Chains A and B, each alone.
Chain A
Amino acid sequence: MSSLIPPEVRARLKSLRISSRLTPNGQGLGLHTGRGRGAGLEFAQYRAYGQGDEPRQIDWKLYARSDRYFVRDATRDSPLSVWLVIDTSASMAQADPERPAYARIDAARIIAACIAERAVQQGDGVGLITVGGRSTQGLPAAPGARHRDRLLLLLAGLVADGRDGARASPPLLSAQIAADALVIVISDGFDDSLAESCERLAAARRDVRVIRVLTVGENAFGFQGSQRFIDPESGRERTLDAEAARSGFLDRFGAARREQLRRLARHGVTSVEYLLDEPADAPLHQLFAARGRGA
Chain B
Amino acid sequence: MISFAAAFGWLALAALAIPIAIHLIRRRAARDVPFAALAWLAARTPPRRQWRLDDRWLLAVRLLLIALLAALLAEPLWRSSGKADTAAVYVAPGIDANAARAAIDAPLADWHWLAAGAPSLDHPAPAADPRMLQSLIRELDRELPAATKLSIVVPTELAGLDGERLRLGREVVWRSLPAVSVSQELAPAAQPFRIAIRTASDQPVAASVARALSAAWQAAGIAIEVDEQPLGVPISKDSGLLIVSGSELDEATQALASNGLNLLLGDPDAKTGEVLLRDADGQPLLRRQAARIYALAGPLDPVAWPALLDPQLPAALLKLLRPAVPPRDRAPAVSVAPLRAAVDSAGPARPLTPWFALAIALLWLIERLLATRRRSEAT
Binding site for B on A (CB under 8 A): 91, 93-94, 97, 188, 190, 217-218, 223, 225-234, 236-241, 243-245, 248-249, 252-253, 256
10 nearest CB pairs, A to B: A91-B36, A229-B35, A241-B48, A253-B40, A231-B38, A228-B30, A240-B45, A252-B40, A245-B45, A226-B30
B37 an interface residue at 8 Å Cβ cutoff?
yes
B36, closest chain A residue (CB): A91
Q: List chain A residues, Cβ under 8 A from B34.
A: 91, 93-94, 229-232
Q: List chain A residues, Cβ under 8 A from B48.
A: 226, 241, 243-244
Choose from A188, A238, A248 the contact partner of B36 (Cβ within 8 Å): A188
Choose from A190, A231, A234, A240 the contact partner of B46 (Cβ within 8 Å): A240
User: Are B30 and A248 in touch, CB under 8 angstroms?
Assistant: no
User: Are B46 and A253 in touch, CB under 8 angstroms?
Assistant: no
Binding site for A on B (CB under 8 A): 27-28, 30-38, 40-43, 45-48, 50, 52
User: Are B42 and A248 in touch, CB under 8 angstroms?
Assistant: yes
A234 to B36, CA, bound (A): 9
A226 to B24, CA, bound (A): 12
Q: List chain B residues, Cβ under 8 A from A93.
A: 34
B54, closest chain A residue (CB): A225
User: Are B30 and A253 in touch, CB under 8 angstroms?
Assistant: no
User: Are A228 and B31 in touch, CB under 8 angstroms?
Assistant: yes
Tally of A-B Cβ pairs under 8 angstroms: 87
Which of B30, B32, B34 has the most chain A CB within a 10 Å cutoff? B34
Report if A238-B33 is in contact (Cβ < 8 Å); known contacts: A226-B28, A226-B50, A229-B38: no
User: Are B38 and A241 in touch, CB under 8 angstroms?
Assistant: no
Can you offer 17 A-B residue contacts whose CB atoms are under 8 A?
A94-B35, A190-B36, A217-B33, A225-B27, A225-B52, A226-B47, A229-B33, A229-B34, A230-B34, A232-B34, A240-B47, A241-B46, A241-B48, A244-B45, A244-B46, A249-B42, A252-B40
Report if A240-B41 is in contact (Cβ < 8 Å); known contacts: A225-B50, A225-B52: yes
B44, closest chain A residue (CB): A240
Q: List chain B residues, Cβ under 8 A from A97.
A: 33
Q: List chain A residues, Cβ under 8 A from B47.
A: 226, 239-241
A93, closest chain B residue (CB): B34
Question: 20 extra interchain contacts, Cβ-Cβ under 8 A, other than A226-B28, A252-B40?
Answer: A91-B34, A91-B36, A94-B34, A188-B36, A225-B27, A225-B30, A225-B52, A226-B50, A228-B30, A229-B35, A229-B38, A230-B33, A232-B36, A233-B36, A234-B38, A239-B30, A241-B45, A244-B45, A249-B40, A253-B40
CB A192 to nearest CB in B, in angstroms, measures 11
Report if A190-B33 is in contact (Cβ < 8 Å); known contacts: A241-B48, A249-B42: no
User: Are B50 and A238 in touch, CB under 8 angstroms?
Assistant: no
User: Are B38 and A227 in touch, CB under 8 angstroms?
Assistant: no
Q: List chain A residues, Cβ under 8 A from B50.
A: 225-226, 241
A95, closest chain B residue (CB): B34
A248 to B27, CA, bound (A): 24
Q: List chain A residues, Cβ under 8 A from B43.
A: 238
A202 to B28, CA, bound (A): 49
Q: List chain B residues, Cβ under 8 A from A232.
A: 34, 36
A199 to B27, CA, bound (A): 46
Q: List chain B residues, Cβ under 8 A from A236.
A: 38
Q: List chain A residues, Cβ under 8 A from B36.
A: 91, 94, 188, 190, 218, 231-233
Q: List chain A residues, Cβ under 8 A from B27.
A: 225
Q: List chain A residues, Cβ under 8 A from B52.
A: 225
